[in-house]
Amino acid sequence: MKRLWWVLALLVLISLPITAGIITVNKFEDEMLECISLAEKTISSEDYKSAKKYAEKIEDTFAKKEGVISLFADHEMVENIGVSVARLSSLATKETASEFLGECQSAKIMLRHLVNDQLPLMHNIL
Amino acid sequence: MIILIVSLFRTLILFITVMIGVRLMGKRQIGDMSPNELVVTILVSQIATIPLQDMNQPVINGVVSIFFLVVMELVLSVLIMKFGTFRKVVNGAPAIIIKQGKLDQKAMERLRITVDDLQEELRQQQVFDIEEVYFGIVETDGKLSIMLKNDSNSVAVPVICDGAYQTDFMNKMGIDLLEVEQRLAERRLKREEVFLMTLDSKGKATVIKKEGKI
């Protein structure tokens, strides 16, 4: 039947952005979390220069992926992550190390939230 | 102000999506709607407005949801067409509330139709005396179809639809199953071969054979 072929075509069409969204957001989360963890380690070992470099790398990674991520995720949530990671490089100093770690934690929570919001879990469905 | 351009593009995307969706759902969508069609139409219109009102929502959320509703509507329409029982569950069945000039009060109560509702509906059909009505049927879309006592037309009742006996209707109209089987035997037809068979109040049978896969 013609209608069932349309159903099949639409299901394929629907599954494409869904799959792309899941893969993109997960990959983005992995990349960002890895960089943030490295930045946390370096600032904990008082290597402020490397921490600054990592913070800039985090900012760059975010800037590169922001456009694609916004296609699939809530724009406000993505912007909040952006604001959080943008503060990191200025906080990579001895005096503001604790604030740096706090901001890293905040960014990590938001990133996890971004992924968890997509998962087909009961609390997301209801 | 530049945000307005973004808003225009989002509107355009959703407009095209809804247009494609409505076209895929078929022409019935535009005319009288069955319960499932009404539900899908309401949901589509509501979902389409979310990304328009909330700029933080990705347009893709709305597009995917609308297309999924279209998928559900298409699957439902296939099931409704193929399975009579499913059709009854989803769309309901026509109900006779005036039979041979007599009001079926139980049917009216079941359908939650008051006498005032009935009279209003009759007046809209230029009937001002309930006594004039010979048959009154409430269709699945809630509209009332009537046949007047002095109407020269006869009431044709579907007795077989898509190879299945319409026992509900036959019982309500007092049509005997044996009579239907006899009419089929006269035409050397089996029930499964019949697409539509109607029997009118004057005893005339109309049979349309199945043409193959529908």
DSSP code string of B146-182:
EEETT-SS-PEEEEEETTEE-HHHHHHHT--HHHHHH
| C-alpha span between A114 and A28 (Å, rounded) | 10
What's the start-to-end Cα distance of chain A, in Å? 35
Indicate yes or no: CB of B70 within 8 angstroms of CB of A14.
no
pTM, two decimal places: 0.72
Q: Which of B47, B104, B94, B108 is nearest to B72 (CA)?
A: B47
ipTM reported for the complex, 2 dp: 0.81
Residue B91 CA to residue B80 CA, distance in Å, equals: 8
Q: Specify whether the CB–CB gap between B56 and A75 falls below 8 A.
A: yes
Q: Residues near A112 by Cβ (< 8 Å), separated by ≥ 6?
A: A29
- Say what the pLDDT of residue B57 is: 87
Q: How far apart are CA B111 and CA B137, in angstroms?
A: 12
Q: Is the CB of B55 inside 8 Å of chain A's CB atoms?
A: yes
Q: Mapped to the 3 state alphabet, what secondary structure does A20-63 carry?
A: HHHHHHHHHHHHHHHHHHHHHHHHHCCCHHHHHHHHHHHHHHHH
Cα torsion angle, B46, B52, B54, B57, sign: positive
Instruction: Say how far apart CA B64 and CA A10 lie, in whole Å.
Output: 9
DSSP B28: G
CA distance A89 to B151: 88
Residues in chain B: 214
Give the count of beta carbons closer than 10 Å to the beta carbon of residue A84: 22
**pLDDT of amino acid A104:** 92
Q: Is A40 exposed, middle or buried (0-12, 13-18, 19+ CB in 10 A)?
A: middle
Q: How far apart are CA B194 and CA B164, in angstroms?
A: 8
Can you give the pLDDT at residue B28?
57
Report how far residue A74's alpha carbon sits from residue A111's, in angstroms, rounded to the nearest whole number. Answer: 12
Q: How many Å lie between the alpha carbon of B83 and the closest alpha carbon of chain A?
A: 15
Tell me which chain A residues have a C-beta less than 8 angstroms from the C-beta of B64. 14, 17-18
Percentages helix, strand, coil for chain A (3-state, rounded to 5) are 85, 0, 15
Judged by a CB distance cut-off of 8 A, whether residue A75 touches chain B is: yes
Instruction: For residue A14, give the nearest of B84, B138, B48, B66 by alpha carbon.
Output: B66
Grouped pLDDT means (10 residues each) for chain B, 214 residues: 78 88 69 76 88 87 92 89 82 84 88 89 88 86 83 74 80 80 86 85 82 57
* Coil/strand/helix, residue B200: strand
- Which of A7, A17, A73 is facing B71, going by the closest CB pair? A7
A70 Cα to chain B: minimum distance (Å): 7
Determine whether the interchain pair A1/B68 forms a contact, defined as Cβ–Cβ distance below 8 Å.
no
Question: B92-117: b or e for each residue (b if 16 or more CB lie within 10 Å)?
Answer: bebbbbbbeeeebeebbeeeebeeee
For B10-40, the pLDDT digits (tens) are 888 988 988 888 888 775 545 567 778 888 8
Spell out which residues of chain A touch residue B27, defining contact as CB-CB under 8 Å: none
Low-confidence ranges of chain A (pLDDT < 70): 1
The residues near B25 (Cβ < 8 Å, ≥ 6 apart) are B37, B40, B70, B73, B74, B77
Q: Could you say which of A4, A14, A72 has the minimum Cβ distance to residue B68?
A: A14
Task: Please state, as a whole number, how many other Cβ atoms lie within 10 Å of the Cβ of residue B154.
Answer: 14
Report how far Cα B19 is from the mean position of its chain's Cα atoms. Answer: 23
